[in-house]
Amino acid sequence: MKKVITYGTFDLFHEGHYRLLQRAKALGDYLIVGVTTEAYDRTRGKLNVVDSLVTRIENVKKTGFADEIIIEESSGQKFSDIKKYEVDIFTVGSDWVGYFDYLKDYCEVIYLERTKNISSTMLREKNSRIQRIGIIGTGRIADRFVPEARQVSGVNTQGVYNPHIESARRFAERWEINAYEDMETFYQAVDIVYIASPHETHYEYIRSALEHGKHVLCEKPMVLQKEQAEKLFACAQEKGLVLCEGIKTAYCPGFHKLLGIACSGTIGSIRNVEACFTKLEASESRELTDRVYGGSFTELGSYVMLPVLKLFGKDYKSVRFDSIRDGSGLDLFTKVSLCYPTGIATATCGLGVKSEGRLLIAGTRGYLVAEAPWWKTSYFEVHYEDAGAVEKYSERFLGDGLRYEISDFLSMINGNKNGGFKLSRGESVELAGLMERFMRENGRERSF
Ligand code: CTP
As a whole number of Å, the end-to-end CA separation of the chain is: 75
For ligand 1, the distance from its centroid to the CA atom of residue 127, given in whole angstroms, is 17
The tens digit of pLDDT for each residue in 70-112 reads 999 988 899 999 999 999 999 999 999 999 999 999 999 999 9
**95: CA distance to ligand 1 center in Å?**
8
Give the model's pLDDT for residue 347: 98
Mean pLDDT, to the nearest integer, of 208-235? Answer: 98
Q: State percent of the chain over pLDDT 70.
A: 99
pLDDT tens figures, 396-425:
899 999 999 999 999 899 887 777 899 999
How many CB atoms sit inside 10 A of residue 387's CB?
7
Q: What is the mean pLDDT of residues 427-438?
A: 98
Return mean pLDDT, the chain. Answer: 95
Residue from 1, 2, 4 nearest 103 by CA: 4
* Nearest Cα to Cα of residue 442 among 324, 270, 356: 324
User: Which pLDDT score, from 0 to 100, does residue 84 have?
Assistant: 96
Please give the average per-residue pLDDT across 269-298, as a whole number: 93
The 3-class SS string of 80-123 reads HHHHHCCCCEEEEEHHHCCCCHHHHHCCEEEEECCCCCCCHHHH
**CA of 145 relative to ligand 1 center, distance in Å:** 28
Q: Ligand 1 mean position to 17 CA, how many Å?
A: 6
Position 447 scores a pLDDT of: 47
Percentage of the chain modeled with pLDDT above 90: 87
Q: For the residues 199-219, what does the mean pLDDT come to?
A: 98
Q: How many whole angstroms from 104 Cα to the centroid of ligand 1? A: 21
359-383 pLDDT tens trace? 999 999 999 999 999 999 999 999 9
Q: Which of 95, 110, 111 to mutate to test the pocket of ligand 1 (most atoms within 8 A of CB)?
A: 95
Distance 56 CA to ligand 1 centre (A): 13
Q: What is the pLDDT of residue 292?
A: 87
Atom of ligand 1 nearest to the CA of 116: 8
Nearest CA residue ID for atom 17, ligand 1: 8
Residue 448 pLDDT > 50: no
Please determine, for residue 445, whether its predicted confidence score (pLDDT) is greater than 70: no
Mutate to test the pocket of ligand 1, among 20, 25, 110, 125 (most ligand atoms within 8 A of CB): 20
Q: Can you tell me the distance from the alpha carbon of 24 to that of 384, in angstroms, rounded to the nearest whole number?
A: 47
Report the residue count for the chain: 448
For residue 90, the model assigns a pLDDT of 98
CA distance 344 to 316: 9
Residue 121 scores a pLDDT above 80:
yes
pTM for this structure? 0.84
Q: Is the pLDDT of residue 66 over 50?
A: yes
pLDDT of residue 425: 96
